[in-house]
Structures are given as structure tokens and as C-alpha cells.
Amino acid sequence: MDVNKIRRDFPALNDKETVYFDSACQSLRPQVVLDAMNEYYQHFPACSGRSMHHFAAKVTQKVEDARISLIKFLNAAKKEEIVFTRNTTEGINLVANTLFFKPGDVILITDKEHNSNLIPWQKLCRQKGTILKIVPTHPDGTFDLDAYTKLLDPRVRLVSFGHTSNLDGVTIPAAEIIKLAHQNGSLVMLDAAQSAPHRQLNVRNLDVDFFAFSGHKLMGPSGTGVLYAKYKLLEEMEPFMVGGDTVASSTYESADFLPPPEKFEAGLQDYAGIIGLGAAVEYLQKIGFNAIQKHELELNQAITVGIRAIPGLKFIGPADPALRGGITTFYIDGIDSHRIALMLDQMRGIMCRSGQHCVHSWFHSRGITGSVRASAYIYNTLEEAQLLVDHLIKIRKVL
Ligand SMILES: Cc1ncc(COP(=O)(O)O)c(C=O)c1O
């Protein structure tokens, strides 16, 4: 993989002072994604599916093309299993609000979920009397299969786990987890916000029931996302947001809902975003996930080895970078993580995320105030990894 060639695809990297290590929050976008969005606004800026004119026909076709790109990206069985959303959070909320739960049903999550895979379940428990149970992970952040198996009982209606953690980059053994859940009669949702951008996906082989991710973390436009779900489940589920575009017809008293995915895609959609998302997943597939993962590991190794001797520095997650994908999260005892991130930016334009990364529950339970997270992607170079290391060493000396 030629990183320098790839970098030329990203207009945001034109500025030589830009060192972007915050891709777990939002990735940068290649020109092809920007072009795909612009093409919509410049040449057929109408709405899909409603009007009969030729702009509308073109948008409808482009949106369906994007859905087909997403089926290929996920290896889904059919395009009706792809529901466009605004982000991972919306996908998870959609399931929490539309899947049938009865009082006493148990939902399992792990102890280091992003708020988006915690708060919707807490709300459901308050409203419907479901029970949320937490599967503890091993102290190094890796998945504890024994703890999970012990909590799987017939009351577990849904297992909803982060596929790859935004906190420490650890990926869970999804195939095994799903197999055990299905043997137990439970459904499985994967929060794939951090896995979809970095690994080859195959929802059919995984046999996963629900799979939610965001476009903006995988080179797509901001505020785009996908909920994949098995068609049979989508058919059974009530729509979440309702209104225009969700119904075939209505009277003053009732409405005939369209089949999935339309019944879940209420109102006029972000067509430019959806088209851009299609372009993004095609771009990623051309590069190939083997090359992406290999490159991220090299970067993570360079950063980990470079900073591990910094006095007082502690990694969050496993010591071995091979288990952390492109994510290196750490804190330095007694030093405010926001201060470190600000200094990195001010000294050399190095952008990292600081704080609790929307996993407050994990930090509160461990009495850790915050951390710095460097998250790498295909456009980062080893020189940038070295710059990060050198500046962290400098910062430690002055703080
Ligand atoms: C693991 C994980 N889940 C969910 C989310 C929420 O994603 P979004 O804000 O795009 O809905 C994130 C965002 O960082 C994440 O990392």
C-alpha cells in the first residue's frame, strides 16, 4: 500500500502541519466522496422516490446504487436489509425502540460500551421493565468468554456488544459470541462503529442479527450511517420514526406501512450523504482491509514502543498493540489528558482525542479521570507516528 499516494486523495492533508490521529471519532474524506456528494448537489439535487421527473429518477437510482455498494461491503443477503440512518447511535436506538421486549427480558452489554450502546438500554429498562446486565471484561480489556457464558440464560433477549472498542481498540470474538447467543435463543446486535472502518465484514457468515455503524468513521460524510438487520426481523419490527416515505397510503385513521427498509427511513433523506457513503465503502474496498490492518498495526507498534517508557504512562487495554487495531489510548498519572492533547495540537498540529471518549461508565468505575487516544488510519505515516512519540516525550519533560 502506497501511503503517500493515498494521502493525495485527502484534501484535508494538504496542509503539512496537519497530523490527524482522531479517526476513531471521524475519519478524513477522500476526494471521491466529496465529488460524489457534489455531483448530487450540482446535477440532480431533488428527492428520491417521490416525484416522476428525471432529477428524481437519477437520485432514486443513485441511492439504490449506494445500497448495493453497502450490501457488497457487508455481504448482506439483499438490499432491503440496509437501513440508512444518521449514525450508529440512531441504529441502536432504532432497535431499542422497535424490537419487541417484555418486562423481565434481559439485555447483555459489556462493561466498556460507548454511551450509544448503554443509554438506549437504560432508557428501555426504565420504560419497559427490561433488565440490563453487564459482562465484565478481563482486566486488560479483552473479552471474557466465561463471564459471558455464565450470564447467558433463557431470559436474555438481546446481546448488544461493541464489536471493536473505541476505548482500547480490542475486537471481541464475535462469531463465537453470536453462536452461543443463538444456541441460547438470544438475538445479537453488534455496535460496529469501530470495526466497520477497519476490518473485512461478512454479516452473513457472522450470522449477526443487527449491525450498526456510522459513515463518518469510514471515510463517508458526517451524519450518515447504516443499520443492517436480517430481513425477517425488520419485517416484524414496528417502525420507529413514522411519517412521509414510510407509508404506501394513509387515511385519517390509519396507514399502510411500506416494507423494509422504507418503513424505517422516515422523511426526506440525506441523499448526498447516502451517495457519498456508497462512494466511501467502495474506496475502502479498493484499498483492501488486509492492507489497512497491516498498516494500522505498524503504526500502533511504532507508537506503543515509542511511548511505553515515558514515566507514569499507562496504556488502556492490552499491552500488545496487535490486539488494539489502530487505537493507542493512554494516560499519564497526575497529568490532565486535555492538557496533553492541547499541547500536541499547539506544538505541531497533532490531533488526538482526550477525555473519557463517551465511555464515562468505564472511567468512573475505575476512578480514572481521562486519557489520550491516538487513532490511526490508512493515511497516517510512520513519520507521523514518530512525531507523536517525540512530542509526547517532550511534553512529559515539561509537565
Ligand atoms: C464504539 C462506538 N459506538 C458508538 C459510537 C457512536 O457513533 P455515532 O456518534 O456516529 O453515532 C461511537 C462513536 O465514537 C463508537 O466509537
Q: What is the pLDDT of residues 318-330, one digit of tens each?
A: 999 999 999 999 9
pLDDT of 1 > 90? The answer is no
Mean pLDDT of 282-294: 97
Query: Which among 263, 286, 309 is the end of a domain?
Result: 286
> What's the CA gap between 365 and 367, in Å, rounded?
6
256 and 365: one domain? no
CA 156 to ligand 1 center in whole angstroms: 24
- Most informative mutation of 95, 194, 224 for ligand 1 (most atoms within 8 A of CB): 194
CA 24 to ligand 1 center in whole angstroms: 8
Query: Phi-psi category of 126—alpha, beta or left, where left has phi over 0 and alpha has psi -120 to 50?
Result: alpha
> Quick check: pTM over 0.95?
yes
- Return the amino acid letter for 327: I
Domain containing residue 379: CATH number = 3.90.1150.10
pLDDT of 203 > 90? The answer is yes
- How many domains are contained in the chain? 2
The pLDDT score that the predictor gives to residue 291 is 97
175 and 274: one domain? yes
Instruction: Report if residue 18 sits inside a domain.
Output: no
144 and 214: one domain? yes
CA 256 to ligand 1 center in whole angstroms: 33
* Catalytic residue list contains 358: yes
Exactly one of 25, 47, 125, 358 is catalytic; which is it?
Answer: 358
Instruction: Report if residue 161 sits inside a domain.
Output: yes
CA 219 to ligand 1 center in whole angstroms: 14
- Please state the atom number of ligand 1 nearest to the C-alpha of residue 191: 3
222 and 280: one domain? yes
Q: What is the span of the domain harbouring residue 173? A: 32-286
> What's the CA gap between 321 and 197, in Å, rounded?
18
CB atoms within 10 A of CB 376: 29
Cell of 202: 461478512
Please report, to the nearest 10 degrees, the dihedral formed by the alpha carbons of residues 149, 150, 154, 155 taken in order: -110
Judge contact between 91 and 85, C-beta under 8 A.
yes
Closest CA to 392 of 312, 298, 299: 312
224 and 328: one domain? no
- Most informative mutation of 89, 163, 227, 377 for ligand 1 (most atoms within 8 A of CB): 89
The pLDDT score that the predictor gives to residue 16 is 82
**Ligand 1 proximal residues by C-beta, below 6 Å:** 25, 87-89, 114, 116-117, 162, 166, 191, 193-194, 214
301 and 182: one domain? no
